[in-house]
């Protein structure tokens, strides 16, 4: 298995830059996730690593070997696509064995590797079936099996679960993770699904318009976003983004004052306040403990989710979403006091969206 390094990798299609100066060091055995909206360059990055697309500039090495000029077949990586296209006329066994046959691997070795892969993928009893006799999830696992038996230096996966239904996707996600722990292959996994990224990645790279925004652990991405794009891309419901201003050591939000240590800022300025829905509190307990860190507003929407409620509260011209316990029994149009956990909020620059500084309680 192997480490993957990208240095100053760029890609232009004609005059359009779709990948700009990507620098990435994927550790041996790591499960790294590339996360970003459609068109941000995720597939292009994978294809450049695989050698299916040329770089405009930059260098890629796999396992300390510069592969920049190597043909795809010489890079020793296996790619799993969203459209995994199994051979319909071949059995599961032959589909998984296909790449080994083309490499003239001896029959005994083929049988050994295919059985081992089928075992770990829960496909052992389906080896004689054809793809049309399998469920979508089983077919997806056959595609994974094809990649695993090659024992490549690294796996590249491009939204491999996206055409499974929600339940199967959650299940296959867990299986993939378990498989990675077993097989241990260095993996770069592409998705636009933040839940997939957060649950699977040892580290997550958030991409936007061909530019890496942040490389961090899932926890780091969520709790310490470097800019508004990252903050808004992860988390459901989304982070609250509210215009605010600093004034004489307090944060002014919709004409109301929140006490906050703003000593890290020089002078008064307009800012953007970012606060996660779970850091907006409506319960008596929080309000009693933090009597000053409050805003006043009016409930506009209550959405019961079963285990919690999502409450939208109008504060002046802004709306804030709160995630509250089921026991909270406020109703629409009710005037409420919202406790803001100021130790966990983030302030962003009005013009650039870049994080200004952060408080730690």
Ligand X SMILES: Nc1ncnc2c1ncn2[C@@H]1O[C@H](COP(=O)(O)OP(=O)(O)OP(=O)(O)O)[C@@H](O)[C@H]1O
Residue numbers at the binding site for ligand X (CB under 6 A):
13, 18, 36, 38-44, 192
Structure tokens at 259: 């006490």
Q: Tell me if 43 contacts Mg ion by CB under 5 A.
A: yes
CA-based torsion, 303, 309, 314, 320: positive or negative: negative
| Nearer Cβ to Mg ion (197/347) | 197
Helix, strand, coil distribution of the chain in percent, nearest 5? 30, 35, 35
Binding segment (CB under 5 A) for Mg ion, from list 35-43, 149-157, 196-204, 342-350: 35-43
Are 157 and 188 spatial neighbours (Cβ–Cβ below 8 Å)?
Answer: yes
| Nearer Cβ to ligand X (39/330) | 39
| Nearer Cβ to Mg ion (43/240) | 43
Question: What SS3 class is residue 262?
Answer: coil
Integer CA distances (angstroms), 72 to 33, 48, 79, 230, in order: 21, 9, 10, 33
Q: Tell me if 44 contacts Mg ion by CB under 5 A.
A: no
* Cβ count near 280 (within 10 Å): 24
- Rounded CA-CA distance 247/267 in Å is 8
Tell me the residue number closest to Mg ion, measured at CB.
Answer: 43
Closest CA to 188 of 82, 35, 38: 35
Residue 13 interacts with which of ligand X, Mg ion, none, CB < 5 to 8 Å by class:
ligand X
Q: How far is the CB of 229 from ligand X (least distance, A)?
A: 14
Q: How far is the CB of 76 from Mg ion (least distance, A)?
A: 23
C-alpha dihedral, 86 to 89 to 90 to 92, nearest 10°: 60
Q: How far is the CB of 255 from ligand X (least distance, A)?
A: 41
| Nearer Cβ to ligand X (13/87) | 13
Residue 38 interacts with which of Mg ion, ligand X, none, CB < 5 to 8 Å by class:
ligand X
- Rounded CA-CA distance 188/186 in Å is 7
Residue 18 interacts with which of Mg ion, ligand X, none, CB < 5 to 8 Å by class:
ligand X
Residue 194 interacts with which of Mg ion, ligand X, none, CB < 5 to 8 Å by class:
none
| Nearer Cβ to ligand X (44/214) | 44
Residue 140 interacts with which of Mg ion, ligand X, none, CB < 5 to 8 Å by class:
none
| Cβ-defined contacts of 105-114 (< 8 Å, 24+) | 113/149, 113/151, 114/145, 114/149
Q: How far is the CB of 224 from ligand X (least distance, A)?
A: 24
Binding-residue total with Mg ion (CB under 5 A): 1
* Cβ count near 281 (within 10 Å): 23
Q: Tell me if 191 contacts Mg ion by CB under 5 A.
A: no
Q: How far is the CB of 182 from ligand X (least distance, A)?
A: 28
Q: How far is the CB of 42 from Mg ion (least distance, A)?
A: 5
| Nearer Cβ to Mg ion (43/312) | 43
- Rounded CA-CA distance 159/33 in Å is 10
| Nearer Cβ to ligand X (39/243) | 39
Residues that bind Mg ion (CB under 5 A): 43
């Amino acid at each position: 298995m192997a480490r993957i390094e990208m240095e100053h990798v760029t890609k232009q299609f004609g005059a359009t830059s779709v990948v700009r100066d990507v620098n990435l060091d994927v550790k041996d055995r790591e499960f790294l996730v590339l996360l970003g909206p459609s068109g941000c360059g995720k597939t292009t990055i994978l294809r450049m690593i695989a050698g299916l697309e040329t770089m405009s500039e930059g260098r890629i090495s796999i396992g300390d070997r510069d592969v920049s000029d190597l043909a795809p077949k010489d890079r020793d990586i296996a790619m799993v696509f969203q459209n995994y296209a199994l051979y319909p006329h071949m059995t599961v066994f032959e589909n998984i064995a296909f790449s080994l046959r083309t490499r003239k691997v001896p029959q005994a070795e083929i049988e050994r590797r295919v059985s081992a892969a089928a075992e770990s993928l829960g496909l052992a009893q389906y080896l004689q079936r054809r793809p049309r006799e399998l469920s979508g999830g089983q077919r997806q696992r056959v595609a994974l099996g094809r990649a695993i038996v090659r024992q490549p230096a690294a796996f590249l996966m491009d939204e491999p679960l996206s055409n499974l239904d929600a339940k199967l996707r959650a299940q296959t996600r867990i299986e993939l993770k378990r498989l990675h722990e077993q097989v241990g292959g260095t993996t770069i996994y592409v998705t636009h699904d933040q839940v997939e990224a957060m649950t699977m990645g040892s580290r997550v790279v958030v991409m936007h318009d061909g530019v890496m925004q942040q490389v961090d652990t899932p926890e780091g991405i969520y709790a310490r976003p470097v800019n508004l794009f990252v903050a808004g891309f992860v988390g459901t419901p989304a982070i609250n983004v509210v215009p605010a201003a600093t004034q004489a050591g307090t944060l002014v939000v919709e004409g109301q004052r929140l006490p906050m240590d703003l000593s890290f800022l020089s002078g008064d300025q307009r800012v953007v306040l970012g606060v996660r829905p779970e850091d907006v509190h409506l319960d008596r307990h929080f309000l009693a403990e933090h009597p000053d860190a409050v805003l006043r507003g009016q409930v506009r929407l209550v959405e019961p989710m079963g285990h919690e409620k999502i409450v939208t509260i109008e504060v002046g011209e802004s709306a804030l979403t709160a995630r509250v316990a089921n026991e909270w029994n406020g109703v629409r149009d009710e005037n409420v006091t919202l406790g803001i956990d100021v130790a966990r909020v983030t302030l962003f620059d009005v013009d650039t969206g870049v994080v200004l500084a952060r408080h730690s309680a």
